[in-house]
Structure formats: C-alpha cells, structure tokens
Amino acid sequence: GPAIGGGNGGAGAAKKKMNGYVGFSNYPNQQHRRSIKRGFNFTLMVVGESGLGKSTLINTLFESRVYPPKDGDDSSPRSGAQVAMPAGVDITSVSADIVENGVKLRLSVVDTPGFGDAVNNDEAWRPILENIESRFDAYLAQENRVNRSKIVDNRVNVLLYFIKPTGHGLRAMDIEFMKHLHTRVNLVPVIARADTLTPREVEQFKAKILADINFHGIHIFKPVSDHFDDPETISDNKAIASKIPFAVVGSEQYVVRPDGTRVRGRQYPWGVIEVENENHNDFVALRQMLLRTHMEELRDETDVSLYESYRTQKLLALGHVQDNSVFREFNPRRQQEEEERLHAAKMHKLEAEMSAVFKQKVHEKEGKLKQSEEELHSRHQTMKTTLEKQRRDLEEKKSRLTQSDAPHPVAATGSYVEPAQRMASKDKK
C-alpha cells in the first residue's frame, strides 16, 4: 500500500488533514485556556538503537510524516536541527504544528540516532542526559529573565525508550541508561517490533523487564489514580498501566483485512498484524496515554517534579540556600502558581468543611425534631391520662349525683340538708 503522507516530508506535511482523530484537543481544561490559545509544546524524545522502528512508530503515532522518508538509506541525515554530540550520538529535533479542533500543538520529536550502535556503549546515556539537562538550563535562564512573556519551553516531556525484542530482559546498556535518566525525564519503556515475538513471549518478556526495573530501583512513568478520579478514569488508568512496558508494532503500510477494509498493519504469510488492534499489540494504549489521557500529566510532571528538582539541585550547587521564601521571591511565576494552588486547596477545604457543617446541622436538627416529637408524644400521653382520669372522676361524681335517692353518707346519720339551707342556717349563727 502507499506510504502515509504521500512522500511529503517535514513539518508541512504534518499539517495535512489527518485520517483519524488524534485526541490531544481533549487536553484543554479551564485552567489551561490561556496556554491553549497560544498553543502548547509537547516534546517527545525517542531513544533506542537504530532499526528498532522508532521513526516508523512516531509516524504511525501522528498519522503523518513527522520524519521525512529516509530514501532507503539509513545513514542519510534527517532534516531538522542537528547537534553533533560525542560518542557518535546525534540529537536531531523535528517539529510539527498540528491543529485539531482549534487547538494548536507544537509537537517536537527528538531522535537520538547512533545511540547504542557503538562497540562500547558504557557511556551511551551521557549525551542524552546532557541534552535533557541543557534544555532545563535554557528554560531556567528564560525564567530568570525580567521579561518572561516569550518563554520557549523545549523541555523533554516524555522519553520513549525502545527495548530490543530479545526476550531476555533488560541489557546492561538499558539499565545504565534508565538509571541515569529516570530522575530527569518521564521514562516510558516500549518493546520494539513486538510482532517478532509470540504473545506468550511478550508476556514473559514484560514480566522480566518489570522485574529488572524494580530490582534496580528505576522509576518509570505510570498512570496513577487518586481519590478525586471518577471510576471510569480509575479503570482506564489501570488498563493502561497494566500494559507497561508497551509492546508495540508500527507500520506505515496498509493491509487489507478479511472484511475488505484497509488498516495500517504488517502482512505476514500467516496473517496480518493490525497496528490499531488492541488484541494485536499495545500501540493504541500507548497513543491513548501520550496524546489523550496523560499529556497534561506528563507536562506537569516535567515542570513540577523533574524540572523543579533539577533546578533546586542546580541552585544548591551554586550556593543558594534551600529556602522557599527566597525561591518565591526569585520566581514570580512560580509564586503565582503556588498561590493559585494554595487558594484552590483552601477553597476545597472550605467546601468540604461547609458540607460537613451542613450535614452536622441537618443531623442535629433531625435529632431535635425527633426529640420534640417524642416530647410532644409523651406530653400528649400524660395529658391524655390526666384527662382520662378527670373524666373518670367526673363520671364517678356524676353517677353519685344522679343516684340522689340513694342514701347519702351525711343523710344516713341525720336529715339531709340542702346546701342552700345549710348556708342559710350558718348565716343565722
């Protein structure tokens, strides 16, 4: 089938109408409206020895030719800014502006050709670490400028580390690389060319890789949920996290499925591997995480955690004392962000308190109502018994009075005297 992009290369081609909906325009939320208007940067770095399918995967990921075709010659340089680095590693960067639903994303892909291709790869991690740190330095220098209106953010937000599909766990070079980089970048390990392993081999390979990562105390990026997340997000996060390290297949070729539809995939004598079929490989989960669900988190993690700790270390090394008040004075942008965060936290707490107070009040009121109801009831009961008693007394009196012909207790001992007569006789005395 024809290659995607029709042979167009470079950033221009990335602007062409895309076949599918990438999804990064879901990224904006209210907080980020301003940066959305201006557009935002997302920088992805790919690392892995040549031939593992890095450029193919990137092109598949963005459904357009971020990388120009290589003219069948792997050694020909790719377009974009090239910085010569020691140890035979070149760092090249290609940017593309992608507009989706009115949201502009400046996507930069940083490739590191030559990584791991040398005879001795002991220091292969070094030029990459230096590149990542120099981007932090550039950002720090801009932050400290008086006019901060035009900050260019070229910090690396995520690093896809391509693991060779050997099936034997991580190699020393992989471990060294991750150990040196994990405090500086969001590491996302991927198993390259996963179609060269059987599903069973993929599962075993994943387990080995995770065991190695654990054993060496390497921190990799993983979607995590907190108690503010809705159940759907929590289960999405779990589903994505369970696939790490992503076993991916990339392709710029179309294949024809049994039902006649054309999809991207790889054709084999025994059948077809579809790139976007979740049962065939983890490409969809990786794309989901990078472009739909976790782009914001990757950017935040870069800014708030990775960059911040680099900056602190750097300033400490320069002799600054770790004192947050100094830091705040030092950086108005951060101070504002800090204030916003504190304010949001305060509002949240207030809301929680108000809701608790409200609940408490309702509870008390209910209790009181119940109590007065009981009181009313018992008062009603007492009154009823009292009235009943009075009624019985009166009844008794009445029955006594109506039996006037019966012998009266007084009359029994003498003559009966009418009360009026008694009064009269008394007056006479």
Please tell me whether residue 52 binds ligand GDP under the rule CB under 6 A: yes
Please tell me whether residue 184 binds ligand GDP under the rule CB under 6 A: no
Instruction: Give whichever of 62 and 307 is closer to ligand GDP, judged by the CB atom.
Output: 62
Instruction: Give whichever of 136 and 162 is closer to ligand GDP, judged by the CB atom.
Output: 162
Q: How far apart, in whole angstroms, are the C-alpha atoms of residue 369 and residue 9? A: 76
Which residues are CB-neighbours of 79 under 8 A, at least 6 positions away? 9, 10, 68, 94
Distance of CA 226 to the CA centre of its chain: 8
Q: How far apart, in whole angstroms, are the C-alpha atoms of residue 64 and residue 54? A: 14
Can you point out the beta strands (E) in 85-205? 90-100, 103-111, 158-163, 187-191
Near ligand GDP by CB under 6 A: residue from 12, 51, 77, 332:
51
The answer to whether the CB of 145 falls within 8 A of the CB of 330 is: no
Closest by CA to 44, choosing from 191, 163, 161, 156, is 156
54-58: long-range pairs with CB below 8 Å, 24+: 54/111, 54/160, 54/162, 54/192, 55/111, 56/250, 56/251, 56/252, 57/160, 57/190, 57/192, 57/248, 57/250, 57/283, 58/109
Instruction: Give whichever of 48 and 169 is closer to ligand GDP, judged by the CB atom.
Output: 48
Please tell me whether residue 54 binds ligand GDP under the rule CB under 6 A: yes
Strand 158-163 relative to strand 81-84, pairing: unpaired
Please tell me whether residue 249 binds ligand GDP under the rule CB under 6 A: yes
Please tell me whether residue 112 binds ligand GDP under the rule CB under 6 A: no
Only segment of 50-58, 79-87, 315-323, 333-341 that touches ligand GDP (CB under 6 A)? 50-58
Please tell me whether residue 53 binds ligand GDP under the rule CB under 6 A: yes
Only segment of 54-62, 78-86, 321-329, 333-341 that touches ligand GDP (CB under 6 A)? 54-62
Please tell me whether residue 80 binds ligand GDP under the rule CB under 6 A: no
Only segment of 46-54, 89-97, 175-183, 318-326 that touches ligand GDP (CB under 6 A)? 46-54
Q: Tell which positions 262-291 bind ligand GDP, by CB under 6 A.
A: 266
CB of 171 to ligand GDP, least distance (A): 16
Only segment of 44-52, 139-147, 223-231, 387-395 that touches ligand GDP (CB under 6 A)? 44-52
CB of 231 to ligand GDP, least distance (A): 34
Near ligand GDP by CB under 6 A: residue from 174, 195, 274, 282:
195
Please tell me whether residue 55 binds ligand GDP under the rule CB under 6 A: yes
Q: For residue 42, list its beta bridge partners.
A: 107
Closest by CA to 81, choosing from 35, 129, 135, 38, is 135
Number of H helices, E strands in the chain: 13, 10
Please tell me whether residue 68 binds ligand GDP under the rule CB under 6 A: no
Instruction: Give whichever of 201 and 338 is closer to ligand GDP, judged by the CB atom.
Output: 201
Please tell me whether residue 190 binds ligand GDP under the rule CB under 6 A: no
Q: How far, in Å, are 80, 365, 400, 425, 427 from residue 421 at the CA level?
A: 133, 63, 21, 6, 10
Residue type present at position 196: T
CB of 78 to ligand GDP, least distance (A): 9
Instruction: Give whichever of 36 and 45 is closer to ligand GDP, judged by the CB atom.
Output: 45
Please tell me whether residue 196 binds ligand GDP under the rule CB under 6 A: yes
Only segment of 92-100, 192-200, 214-222, 351-359 that touches ligand GDP (CB under 6 A)? 192-200
Instruction: Give whichever of 50 and 92 is closer to ligand GDP, judged by the CB atom.
Output: 50
Which DSSP state fits 31? Answer: G
Closest by CA to 57, choosing from 299, 281, 298, is 281
CB of 214 to ligand GDP, least distance (A): 26
Phi-psi region of 26 (alpha: psi -120 to 50; beta: other; left: phi over 0): alpha
Give contact residues for ligand GDP (rule: CB under 6 A).
Answer: 48, 50-56, 193, 195-196, 249-250, 266
